DNA sequence: AATGAATGAGTTTTCATTCAT
DNA sequence: CATGAATGAAAACTCATTCAT
C-alpha cells in the first residue's frame, strides 16, 4: 500500500508536474481513497519527501553500482574521475523526467535533505580519490566541497538543458576540471611544476 | 505605478517568502487595488518574472561595475578570474535575502529566463578572458559553459549555506578551478607538459 | 451583504441545526459564494459569534422596550419584578427556534460572550430594584448574581421544555422567588417577620 | 471491555475536550481497535450518553450519600435545604473537569437525558422537604420545578465560574432562596401581608 | 469476537482573477 | 484608468464507520 502510494506519487509528479501534484490526484492514481493516504503519511510534504529520498538513494546506488561494475579504481589514473562523472551522468539520465520536476518545479526546500544526502555521498566517493591522488591543497574539505558543487550543477544542467556538447566532450571537461584541478595545488595550480 | 507594484512585489517576496506571495498581498503592500495590478501584468507569474529580470540585471550590472572599478583586466593574469568571481560573490551577497527566496523557494521555472540571461552575460565576460589566455581547448564554448555552471552553483551555495570556507580561500579555489583549468588543455590537462 | 450573510446564517442555524451549519450551506442560503463570506468574517466561528451577539442584543432591547412600555417602575412594588420576568419571557419566546439551537446544540463556548453580556444587563436592571427595595442582604452583588442565574435557567427551560405550568403561575413563582427573597435578609429570611 | 471503553471515553473527554473526542482516540486510549468499539456501541453518541448517564448517577449517589452521612434530616429545619445544596455542590466539585466539558463543550442534546434524570432525583428529594414544611403554594410541583432549575444553574455556574462569593455565603443565599421562598406564600406573594 | 486497514463524503479555507462601477 | 467586492474552483485534511479477515 505504501508502495502503491509512493509509486503513484512519483507518476503524478513526473506526469503532471508539481503544481498538479495534489493529494487527491495521487490518491486517484493509486486507486486509493484520500483518507488511506493519510494513514501512511502525515501530510502532503511527507509524500514528496519520501519520493525524493528514494530517488536520491537510487542515484547513489546507481553511481555505486556503476563504479563497482567498472572494476577496481586506480585512483592514480585520471580515468577514475571520468568514471565517477560518467556514473553520475548515467544515474541522472535514468529518470530525467523526475530530475526535471525536482530541479525546475520543486521549491528547493522540498528536496533539500535528499540533495544534501546525495552530495555527501558523492563527496565521500571523491575524497577517496582526492587523498589517494596526493593532492596538496591546503584545505581538502574545501576543495571537495567546491568540486562537488561544480559537478552537481554541470551534470544536472547538461541532462536538462542538453547544451551542444557531446557526452564524451562533457566527460573530458569534467575530468579536466576535477582532475587537473585536484592534482594542482590551490591558487598556484597554474604555475609550472 | 508599475514601479510601485514591482517594488512591492520584491518586498513581499523577501519579507514573506514565496508561499505568502499572493497578488492580494502585493496589491496591499503597493497600496493599490488588486484590479489595478492586472492592468499592468497579465498574471501573477508575470510579476515574478519582472522582479527576477530586474534582479538579474542588477547583478549583471554590479558585476560589470565591480570589474570596471578595479581597472583594466589583464587577461593574462590569473587575478583576472579572481576579480570576476569576487565581483559575482559581492553581487550575490548584496541581496542575499532575495537570493535565498529565489534559490530555495521559487520553483526554478519562475526564474529560468532571468537566470539564463545572467549566465549568458557572465559567459561572455569569461569568453574574453579565455580566448585571450590562449586556451587550447577543443571547444571553447563548451569550456565556458562548464565553468559558468560550476561557478554559479559554487557562488550561490557558498552565500546561502555558508560552509566553513573563508571568502579568500573560496576565491583561491575558484581561481584555481577556472584558471588552472582554463590554461590547461582539455582532457590532457593532467599530462606533463 | 454582511446583512445577507448574517441573516442566512441565522436561518441555517434555526432550520438545519448547528451540526449542519457549514460555511458552504450558509453561502448557499445567502446566494453568495463561499469566498465572499470570508471577506467579512475571518472564520466560521466569527459568524456564529455575530449571530449570537445580535440575538443577545435583541433580547436585551426587547426586555428594555417592554419595561419602558409598561410605564415607570415603582420599585417598591413587587409587581416590578413580575414585569421584568414577563419581559424576559416574552423576549425569549420571540425566537424560540433560535433559543433552542443556542441552548441545546451550540457548545456553550460559542455563545459564552453573548450570554455574559445579557446576564450583565439583566443584573443591572435588577440591581436598581434590589437597592431601592431596601434589601438588607450582606452582599447585594452576590444576591443579584444568584437571582440572575436562577431566573435565566428557569425562563429558558420553561420556554424550551414547556413544563405543565401556566405562564401566569410561572410569573407568580418567579416574583415570589426574586421578590420574597429580595425583601428578606439573606440567611435570616425565614425568621419571623 | 465495555468498562474499558467507557473509562477511556471519560478520560479522553476530560483530557482532550469534546472537539478532540474522536472514536479513534477513544479506541487508542482503551487500547482496543475502533472496530471493537462498534461492537458495544451503535455510534459515537451512544458512547457519550453512557458516560453522561454514569456521571449523572454518580452525582445522584454522592448527593444521597452526603445526606445519609449527615444523619436524619429534620425537614422543619431550614438547615435541611442547606444540606441538600451543600451535598450537590460537593458532588459537582468532585469532578469539575468533567462538569466543565459537559456544560461548556458538549451540545446540550448530548447530555439532556442524563440531566433530566438528575433533576428528577433532586426534585424528589426536595419534594419531601417542601411538603413537610407545610408550604402553601398552589402548585407544589411547579414550585419544586422552579427551585430545582434555579439551584441547578446556580450551583453549576458557581463551580465553573467561581464568582467572588464564598462557599458559605452561597449556601446562605441558596438556603434563603429555597427556604425563604418555600416558607413564603407562593401565589399569594403579591398580595399585601 | 476482535481487528484495523480502508473508506470517502464532507469540511474549512484560500486566492488568482474578473468586471460592473 | 482605477477600483475592490465578488467569485468559485479547488486544496489539504478529518473521522465516523465498515467489513474482510
Q: Is C144 exposed, middle or buried (0-12, 13-18, 19+ CB in 10 A)?
A: buried
- Tell me the mean pLDDT in the region C46-61: 92
In a domain, D192, yes or no: no
The yes-or-no reply on D/B contact (3 CB pairs or more, < 8 Å) is no
Predicted confidence (pLDDT) per residue in B86-110, tens digit: 889 999 999 999 999 999 999 887 7
Contact C177 D174 (CB under 8 A): no
Helical ranges in D17-139 per DSSP H = 23-29, 34-40, 44-69, 79-94, 96-100, 112-132
In a domain, B141, yes or no: yes
Note whether D68 and D153 are same-domain residues: yes
A186 or C138, which is more confident: C138
**Alpha-carbon distance A149 to C36, whole Å?**
49
Strand E proximal to B17 Cβ, under 7 A = no
**Contact residues, chain A, for B179 at CB < 8 Å:** 189-190
In a domain, D190, yes or no: no
Residue A68 pLDDT greater than 70, yes or no: yes
- Tell me the mean pLDDT in the region D151-177: 92
Report the range of poorest mean pLDDT among A38-42, A68-72, A82-86: A68-72
* CA dihedral sign, ordered B23, B28, B30, B32: positive
In a domain, A190, yes or no: no
**Alpha-carbon distance C132 to C81, whole Å?**
12
Report the range of poorest mean pLDDT among A69-78, A107-116, C66-75, C84-93: A69-78
Check residue B162 and give its pLDDT. 94
Residue C137 pLDDT greater than 70, yes or no: no
Note whether D1 and D62 are same-domain residues: no
Note whether B20 and B106 are same-domain residues: no
Strand E proximal to C40 Cβ, under 7 A = no
Cβ neighbours for B81, distance < 8 A, ≥ 6 positions apart: B129, B174, B175, B178, B179, B182
Note whether D160 and D70 are same-domain residues: yes
Cβ neighbours for A158, distance < 8 A, ≥ 6 positions apart: A89, A165, A170
Note whether C165 and C86 are same-domain residues: yes
Report the range of poorest mean pLDDT among A41-50, B164-173, B180-189, C13-22: B180-189
Q: Give the nearest partner residue to A184 out of B107, B142, B176, using CB atoms.
A: B176
* Cell matching residue D74: 429534620
**Contact residues, chain B, for A176 at CB < 8 Å:** 181, 184, 186-187, 189-190
Measured CA to C1', the nucleotide nearest A40 is E5
Distance, CA of D94 to chain centre: 11
Nearest C-alpha neighbor of B185 from the set B122, B119, B130, B128: B130
Predicted confidence (pLDDT) per residue in C70-83, tens digit: 766 665 566 677 88
Residue D82 pLDDT greater than 90, yes or no: no
- Tell me the mean pLDDT in the region C93-110: 90
**Alpha-carbon distance B21 to B101, whole Å?**
11
Query: CA geometry: angle at B96 spanning B91 and B97, to 5°?
Result: 145
Residue A187 pLDDT greater than 60, yes or no: no
**Alpha-carbon distance A43 to A36, whole Å?**
12
D21 CA to E3 C1' distance (Å): 21
**Alpha-carbon distance C186 to C143, whole Å?**
8
Strand E proximal to C124 Cβ, under 7 A = no
Contact C172 D150 (CB under 8 A): no
In a domain, C189, yes or no: no
Check residue D153 and give its pLDDT. 94
Supply the CATH number for residue C179's domain: 1.10.357
Residue B26 pLDDT greater than 60, yes or no: yes
**Contact residues, chain D, for C174 at CB < 8 Å:** 146
C38 CA to E13 C1' distance (Å): 8
- The tally of domains found in chain D comes to 2
Note whether A25 and A72 are same-domain residues: no
Nearest C-alpha neighbor of D104 from the set C112, B149, A185: C112
Check residue C34 and give its pLDDT. 95
Check residue A123 and give its pLDDT. 82
Q: Which of C176, C179, C182, C191 to mutate to test the interface with D (most CBs of D within 10 A)?
A: C176
Q: CA D79 → CA B140, C1, D66, D147, D179, distances in Å?
A: 107, 59, 14, 16, 9
In a domain, D144, yes or no: yes
**Alpha-carbon distance B86 to B99, whole Å?**
17
Strand F proximal to D17 Cβ, under 7 A = no
End-to-end C-alpha distance for chain B, whole angstroms: 62
Check residue A189 and give its pLDDT. 35
In a domain, B74, yes or no: yes
Report the range of poorest mean pLDDT among B36-40, D60-64, D131-135: D131-135
Residue D14 pLDDT greater than 70, yes or no: yes
Q: What single DSSP character describes residue B19? A: T
DSSP H or E run through B87: helix B79-94
**Alpha-carbon distance A176 to A78, whole Å?**
9
Note whether B31 and B73 are same-domain residues: no
Predicted confidence (pLDDT) per residue in B28-86, tens digit: 999 999 999 999 999 999 999 999 999 999 998 888 888 777 766 665 566 677 888 88
Residue A98 pLDDT greater than 70, yes or no: yes
Query: CA geometry: angle at C139 spanning C133 and C145, to 5°?
Result: 85
- Tell me the mean pLDDT in the region D162-191: 70
Count other Cβ atoms within 10 Å, centred on residue A102.
Answer: 25
Count other Cβ atoms within 10 Å, centred on residue B97.
Answer: 12
- Tell me the mean pLDDT in the region C134-149: 76
Residue C41 pLDDT greater than 50, yes or no: yes
Contact A149 B149 (CB under 8 A): no
Residue A116 pLDDT greater than 70, yes or no: yes
Measured CA to C1', the nucleotide nearest C30 is F6
Q: What single DSSP character describes residue B97? A: H
Strand F proximal to B78 Cβ, under 7 A = no
In a domain, A98, yes or no: yes
Residue A69 pLDDT greater than 80, yes or no: no
Note whether A88 and A151 are same-domain residues: yes
Note whether B36 and B56 are same-domain residues: no
Check residue A190 and give its pLDDT. 36
- What string of DSSP letters covers C51-104? HHHHHHHHHHHHHHHHHHHT----TTSTHHHHHHHHHHHHHHHHTHHHHHHHHH
Predicted confidence (pLDDT) per residue in C151-169, tens digit: 999 999 999 999 999 999 9
Report the range of poorest mean pLDDT among A138-152, B134-148, B159-173, C130-144: C130-144
Predicted confidence (pLDDT) per residue in C169-182, tens digit: 999 888 888 765 54
Check residue B117 and give its pLDDT. 86
- Percent of chain C topping pLDDT 70: 82
Note whether B136 and B59 are same-domain residues: yes
Q: CA C66 → CA A87, B169, C123, C128, distances in Å?
A: 90, 87, 16, 16
Note whether D56 and D29 are same-domain residues: no
Predicted confidence (pLDDT) per residue in A143-154, tens digit: 889 989 999 999
Supply the CATH number for residue D32's domain: 1.10.10.60
- Tell me the mean pLDDT in the region D6-32: 94
Report the range of poorest mean pLDDT among A49-53, B143-147, D43-47: B143-147
- Percent of chain D topping pLDDT 70: 82
Structural domain of D168: 52-183
Contact C179 D189 (CB under 8 A): yes
Distance, CA of A157 to chain centre: 11
Cβ neighbours for C86, distance < 8 A, ≥ 6 positions apart: C66, C171
Residue C130 pLDDT greater than 90, yes or no: no
The yes-or-no reply on A/C contact (3 CB pairs or more, < 8 Å) is no
Residues of B with CB under 8 A from a CB of A: 18, 78, 103-109, 112, 138-139, 141-143, 145-146, 149-154, 157, 163-165, 169-170, 172-177, 179-181, 183-184, 186-187, 189-190
Q: How many Cβ pairs within 8 Å bridge chains C and D?
A: 128
Note whether D34 and D56 are same-domain residues: no
Amino acid at each position: 500500500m505504501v508502495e502503491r502510494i509512493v509509486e503513484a506519487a512519483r507518476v503524478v509528479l513526473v506526469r503532471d508536474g508539481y503544481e498538479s501534484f495534489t493529494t487527491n490526484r495521487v490518491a486517484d492514481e493509486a486507486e486509493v481513497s484520500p483518507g488511506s493516504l493519510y494513514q501512511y503519511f502525515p501530510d502532503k510534504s511527507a509524500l514528496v519527501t519520501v519520493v525524493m529520498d528514494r530517488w536520491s538513494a537510487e542515484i547513489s546506488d546507481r553511481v555505486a553500482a556503476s563504479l563497482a561494475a567498472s572494476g577496481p579504481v586506480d585512483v592514480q589514473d585520471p580515468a577514475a574521475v571520468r568514471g565517477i562523472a560518467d556514473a553520475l551522468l548515467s544515474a541522472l539520465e535514468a529518470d530525467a523526467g523526475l530530475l526535471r520536476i525536482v530541479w525546475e518545479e520543486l521549491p528547493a526546500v522540498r528536496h533539500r535533505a535528499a540533495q544534501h544526502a546525495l552530495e555527501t555521498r558523492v563527496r565521500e566517493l571523491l575524497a577517496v580519490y582526492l587523498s589517494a591522488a596526493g593532492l596538496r591543497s591546503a584545505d581538502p574539505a574545501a576543495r571537495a566541497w567546491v568540486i562537488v558543487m561544480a559537478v552537481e550543477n554541470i551534470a544536472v544542467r547538461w541532462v536538462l538543458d542538453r547544451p551542444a556538447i557531446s557526452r564524451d566532450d562533457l566527460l573530458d571537461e569534467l575530468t579536466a576540471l576535477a582532475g587537473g584541478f585536484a592534482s594542482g595545488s590551490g591558487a598556484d595550480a597554474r604555475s609550472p611544476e
